[in-house]
Structure 1
Amino acid sequence: MNVEHEVKLLIDEIKRLGSPGPDGKVAVTFGVLFNDDKCANIFEALVGTLRAAKRKKIISYDGELLLQGVHDNVPITLLKEEF
């Protein structure tokens, strides 16, 4: 799959599953994103798509690599709604 296309899909899924924080930016935890059935069907490699989006400054989260279970409560914040 095309990375740009997957990042656009990721933006849509973060907006669907997340909620605005005090700063007005939409955020969702990694666990919610990872365990969502729709996301599981869309993304072959969710962690890789997250890393690509982070490199392009579209999202932010603490750390380099997110792992299921260990990082379920890590918030992923949407910085830009367009790619």
Structure 2
Amino acid sequence: MGTNSQRSAFKTEVDVNTPAQCDDDSAIPVVSVKGLKENWQKWSSEHQEYQKLNPFSHDTRQRVVAPQRGQEDYGRPQQGSLTEKRGKEAHTHISREVQKLCEVIRNIGEEKERDVDEHDSHRKVITVEFGKLFEHYVTISNTLVGILLRARKQGLVDFKGEMLWQGKDDNVVITLLE
């Protein structure tokens, strides 16, 4: 019979890539040192290559030249990366939220005339107070202020002040510009 160490001494040539084999009376798989070494070397090589591309690595042998300020790809994720994919998905989600916000303002807002220029021409716009919008929009999303800021940045809405606070800014008028 013998001990486990005596039995495994005769079975060291099993490759690590093949399914683990077990003796009938033992549940310990037998794996070759050669296979373990090859897998370790493979992982080590892949990790070293990855670290050369990692901007946070202390590896000074960087192969990729980092984009400089002013270049087209500066501050953007690598094309085809998961970061780029997540960014595009987030942009799509925010765009839908902005569209939903504009629709809510159209539905609950009031139509008013607004002076466009000095030639006395008027344009109709839709306005709503922040407090009223907050009451209606809170059931849709809890990120109203952030979506309002994004919509203002895109030129879709306008309001006074940099930030709106519930309670304090309930009477601030939000104007739909599109």
Scaled by the length of structure 2, the TM-score of the pair is 0.43
Runs of 5+ consecutive residues of structure 1 not aligned to the other structure:
none
| Range with bigger deviation, 14-23 or 56-65 | 14-23
Q: Which residue of 2 aligns with 1:52?
A: 150
Task: Select which of 17, 22, 36 maps to 2:108.
Answer: 17
Percent of pairs identical after alignment? Answer: 36
The residue type paired with residue 45 of structure 1 is T
CA shift for structure 1 position 42: 1.4
Structure 1 residue aligned with 2:126, among 13, 22, 26?
A: 26
Deviation at 1:71, TM superposition (A): 0.4
Larger proportion of helix: 1
Gaps of 5+ in 2: 1-89, 115-123
Residue 60 of structure 2 is matched in structure 1 by none
Cα deviation, 1:35-69, whole Å, max 9, x if unaligned, reads 12xx2121120000000000111000001100001
Give the RMSD, CA atoms, in angstroms. 1.1
Structure 1 moving runs of 4+ over 6 Å? none
3-state DSSP class of the match of 1:21?
strand
Task: Tell me the distance in 1 between the aligned counterparts of 2:100 and 2:143.
Answer: 13
| Aligned residue number for residue 138 of structure 2 | 40
Within 2, Cα distance between the matches of 1:15 and 1:45?
Answer: 19
Task: Using the TM superposition, name which of 11-20 and 40-49 deviates more.
Answer: 40-49
* Paired residue total: 78
**Largest Rg, 1 or 2:** 2
TM-score by length of structure 1 reads: 0.89
For residues 129 and 148 of structure 2, what CA distance do their matches in structure 1 show?
12
